[in-house]
Amino acid sequence: MIPKGVPLKNEAVFRLAMRHRSATDRPVQESYERLEFFGDSVLGVVIAQFLYEHHPEWDQGMLSKAKSSVVQEGPLASAALKLGLDQHLELSSSEESTGGRQRPSILADVLEAVIGGVYLESGLEAARWFVLEQLHDDLMQVSGGDVNPHDFKSKLQEMAQALWRRTPQYRIAKEMGAAHERRFVVQVLFDDEVMGEGSGRSKKEAEQSAAADALDLIERHRQVRKPMPEPFEDPYI
């Protein structure tokens, strides 16, 4: 059954949008990947048009930063969870056992697949309303001037400079997946000590995830032990 809030009419289209490539022997024809590819383009157009029309004072750089903040894994995965799409995913047993149902990259993909399905069924206007409704809070945040709410790298650098006068370094720890669904695992380091790790569909996305992990570690440490050690003495132990 198509969940409330998803404006699809055809059950078969919805099922296709929920089917991971691991759940079928014919991933090109019977998984969400082609729909996700199409929905990603629709999503980009809708968000770009919204920002262009609502912020005539923003230059290209500002528009680009704001768009990137909304059209990324975190906000899309959160929207998918709010719609309950995780409960409808079709995954292989191995993908299920490794946490695929809650994996942000998969959740972001299925939301984009749904967007693509809505466009194909009902046209751009229906897809526009769906996108703007699901990402309303994120759009309001960037419209309020915080065009980088998920720029954890900048926040980590500022905090590290303030605490230790040092700059974090990033390294790729792992690359995995086929070319069309590449995943990167990145670590953030201080003096060769790993302080955070994250993954993403691109190197930039993985770096942001790693920075967020490091910020969370710092915050947890500061709640337990104050002040932070100077200059850097294993704050995560």
Catalytic residues: 40, 112
Quick one: pLDDT band at residue 146, thresholds 50, 70, 90?
confident
pLDDT confidence of residue 231: 47
Residue 192 Rama label (left phi>0; alpha psi -120 to 50; beta): left
pLDDT confidence of residue 98: 85
* pTM for this model (two decimals): 0.73
Tokens 């720890």: give the residue. Answer: 173
Quick one: pLDDT band at residue 160, thresholds 50, 70, 90?
confident
The amino acid present at 174, given as its one-letter code, is K
Mean pLDDT value across the chain: 89
What is the per-residue burial (b if ≥16 Cβ within 10 Å, else e) of 101-140?
bebbbbbbbbbbbbbbbbbbeeeeeebbebbeebbeebbe
Q: Are 92 and 22 in contact (CB under 8 A)?
A: yes
Q: Which residue has the higher pLDDT, 160 or 23?
A: 23
Q: DSSP assignment, residue 225?
A: S
Tell me the per-residue pLDDT of 163-214, one tens digit each, with 9 for 90 and over: 888 889 999 999 987 766 678 999 999 988 999 999 887 888 889 889 999 9
Q: Is a pLDDT exceeding 80 seen at residue 116?
A: yes
Quick one: pLDDT band at residue 228, thresholds 50, 70, 90?
low
Q: Is a pLDDT exceeding 60 seen at residue 237?
A: no
% of the chain beyond a pLDDT of 90:
61
| Alpha carbon separation from 169 to 122, 157, 182 (Å, rounded) | 47, 10, 22
Can you say how many angstroms the Cα of residue 80 is from the centroid of all Cα atoms in its chain?
11
Tell me the per-residue pLDDT of 58-111, one tens digit each, with 9 for 90 and over: 999 889 889 988 998 889 999 999 999 999 999 999 999 988 899 888 999 999
Q: Which residue has the higher pLDDT, 178 or 135?
A: 135
- Arithmetic mean of pLDDT, 3-8: 95
Question: Lowest-pLDDT range, 14-23, 131-140, 205-214?
Answer: 205-214
Tokens 């929207």: give the residue. Answer: 79
pLDDT confidence of residue 153: 87
In terms of Cα–Cα distance, which of 202, 3, 219 is closest to 104?
Answer: 202
- How big, in percent rounded to 5, are the helix, strand and coil portions of the chain? 60, 10, 25
Q: Around 30, how many Cα atoms within 13 Å sit in the side-chain half-sphere? A: 7
Q: Is a pLDDT exceeding 90 seen at residue 136?
A: yes
Q: Which domains does the chain possess?
A: 11-143 (1.10.1520.10), 152-224 (3.30.160.20)
Task: Give 202-206's long-range contacts (Cβ < 8 A, gap of 24+).
Answer: 203/172, 205/72, 205/73, 206/172
Q: Are 119 and 42 in contact (CB under 8 A)?
A: yes
pLDDT confidence of residue 179: 66
pLDDT confidence of residue 225: 61
Question: Lowest-pLDDT range, 74-78, 124-128, 228-232?
Answer: 228-232
